[in-house]
A and B are shown apart, each in its own frame.
Chain A
Amino acid sequence: MEFAQKASFVFYGAALAAALAGFLFNKEWKFKYSVLALWAGWVSSAIYISARWYWAGRAPMANMYESLVFLVWAFVGAYLLFRKFSGHSLDWLATWTALVAVLTLGGASFFDSDISPLMPALQSNWLFIHVSTVMAGYGALLLSFLGAAIFSLMDAARVEKKKSLEYLVYRSCLVGFWLLSLGIITGAVWANSAWGSYWSWDPKETWSLITWLYYAVAIHLRRTRGWKDKKFAILMLWGFALVMFTYFGVNYLMSGLHSYGKDY
């Protein structure tokens, strides 16, 4: 099982190395092999998540380590999906996707990766449904953030690349928003079945709602006020700061119904 996890890390690293080597030696193949390695890393990660699910006898979504591994898998998957539908105009983004995947998986290794039994509150099928949709949403919003960051720094003369990035930033935001909506809703349904209240204004719920509202406002600003390109990119940068606070900050700075997030 651990082999698949190490393999995914190595493949993401290889994706980064292939692109860098291609740049260094000015080779045509640089993105081809980079994307191929990303695919291999993504498949290895899928095998690892499945194997962990099998061995634990439960969905591997119960602690920070497991959720981060799933987040990286969703993020890389979102990139590969958008790349497929963008007519390969986003191949060059494979380098940056690999870099974020390597760094995030590296960060995940600081958390406890032991498989431990679930506490009573987490023993539900909703664990998989809720956490996977939220994490997949975060993965798509991370992709939107990555695109927005590069868009903000990119030279205005690179019209074609900026166009493909603009496509990616907006659409991955839409996908992330859809998944975040579903994640909050499934969380509410789960809360109602576990605690008898679909909304308790616990810090995690409140910050999830703030994040959701922020992205809803960003989408409205784009559609009704024409906030596109750089303006929308900046909105996405700040939006992901909110996502990070909801994901990490609330777990470590506030106590509430989701406090087990920091313990596990």
Chain B
Amino acid sequence: MLAAFLIGGVIPQGESPEAYQEMFGRIGGDWIMNLRLNNIFSSFWFLALMACGSLNILACTIKQWKALKLRPGIFLSHLGVMMMFMGGAVHGLFAVRGTLALEAGQTRGEFAGDDGTQKAMPFNVLLKNFQIRYWEQEKHIIYALKKWEGSGHDGEDLLESVQVEPGKVAHFKSVAADLTVIKFYPNFSIGDSGPVTMDESRQNPALAVKLTDSKTAKPSYLFANYPDFHGVQDMAGIRYVYEYNPGRIKQFESRIAVLEDGVEKMEKVISVNSPAGYKGYRFYQSGYDPKNPNFSSIQVAKDPSVAFIYAGFAVLMIGLTWALWKEMK
């Protein structure tokens, strides 16, 4: 078992054949796939090994019963491990897990199981809304830079940095200039009718800006990913460069409701570390789509093995504590 754990601990699990060939070479990658070392922990031989391990502990416990009944701590700790093996078997036979992908306003009565099949639930789940809360919101900062003059070297001095907001005018005191920030493009691209944002992901953040004293009516564009590509330059040789600060996410929150025959039976806001439960099913906040602010990915689990496993944990710890106490005396 230790050897199996080591193999599974060294070889990354669940990767594609190409990824293994890249990591271990063509021959090594092929061997990993042929021996099914890419998914050790769900392979038949590993599960058989775990079953043998459980039987081994059981046999040892029976064989050593005379000695063990005088050492309840050691007996309980082994019993705890056996209960966990039993929990593992229950998990393998009866647990259901998968992902419920929803957009705000959408209702579903089934989810995509981890085994690739659709799993039906005896009720529907409605995503009322999804929101991301931030420790600090995203920021748009524009730097005013001036090229060195007469030094014989290339370089720029930072004159000022101003935090700006789309739709507002930013004032740069040091150069006595105003810059109107017309629009924010989260993922800038050129469409049929001009500049557009592809989606809400912040892959290519850009700002449409206009210098107040500029004679041209067309806006200029500042790109956070390409500060040297499109710096707006004013008459005095000041260059403006845009920095996008994505902010720091505090929490993902989905407000979900459970519906039975169209009647709302439960409503709860779930977030990471704060799931909801209904009729044995548990709902966990698990993902989001940066391109779609209304999308939420919810992990669904129905696992009757949890009770066995937790009971095993408790018995193991009681046993270990008892044994430790006796040993330390």
Contact = CB atoms under 8 A, between A and B. Distances in A.
Interface of A: 117, 119-121, 123-124, 126, 171, 174-175, 177-178, 181-182, 185, 188-189, 192-198, 201, 203, 206-207, 209-210, 213-214, 217, 254-255
Contact of B327 (A123, A126, A171): A171
Q: Which secondary structure dominates where chain A touches chain B?
A: helix
Contacts of A120: 249-252, 271-273
B263 interface: no
Given A123-B251, A124-B273, A196 B2 contact: no
B282 A185 contact: no
24 contacts: A117-B135, A117-B250, A119-B249, A120-B250, A120-B272, A121-B272, A126-B273, A174-B324, A174-B327, A174-B328, A175-B328, A177-B320, A185-B317, A189-B310, A193-B275, A194-B273, A196-B282, A196-B303, A197-B97, A198-B309, A201-B41, A210-B5, A210-B6, A255-B12
A206 B8 contact: yes
Q: Which secondary structure dominates where chain B touches chain A?
A: mixed
A117 B301 contact: no
Contacts of A171: 327-328
A188 B309 contact: yes
A162 to B, nearest CB: 20
A207 B2 CA distance: 10
Interface of B: 1-2, 5-6, 8-9, 12-13, 41, 97, 135, 248-252, 271-273, 275, 282, 284, 286, 299-301, 303, 306, 309-310, 313, 316-317, 320-321, 324, 327-328
A124 B6 CA distance: 30
B2 A210 contact: yes
A221 to B, nearest CB: 13
Given A120-B252, A121-B273, A193-B275, 10 more contacts: A117-B135, A117-B248, A123-B272, A124-B273, A171-B327, A174-B328, A196-B299, A196-B301, A198-B309, A203-B12
A192 B2 CA distance: 24
Nearest to B284: A196
Give the 8 A-B residue pairs with the shortest CB-CB distance, closest first: A196-B301, A120-B272, A206-B9, A117-B135, A124-B273, A201-B41, A196-B284, A185-B313
Contact of B306 (A194, A198, A213): A198
Given A193-B273, A207-B9, A214 B2 contact: yes
Nearest to B40: A201
A177 B321 CA distance: 11
A182 to B, nearest CB: 6
A106 B41 CA distance: 39
A243 to B, nearest CB: 14
A123 B252 CA distance: 12
Nearest to A175: B324
Given A120-B251, A188-B313, A206-B5, A196 B275 contact: yes
Contacts of A189: 310, 313
A174 B73 CA distance: 13
Contacts of B13: 201
Contacts of A217: 2
Nearest to A190: B273
A121 B252 CA distance: 10
Contacts of B9: 203, 206-207, 210
Contacts of A174: 324, 327-328
A70 to B, nearest CB: 21
B317 A181 contact: yes
Contacts of B300: 196
A206 B5 CA distance: 7
Nearest to B9: A206
B87 to A, nearest CB: 9
Contacts of A255: 12
A194 B271 CA distance: 9
A113 B13 CA distance: 33
A250 to B, nearest CB: 8
Nearest to A122: B273
A100 to B, nearest CB: 23
A197 B300 CA distance: 10
Contact of B284 (A194, A201, A213): A194
A188 B303 CA distance: 14
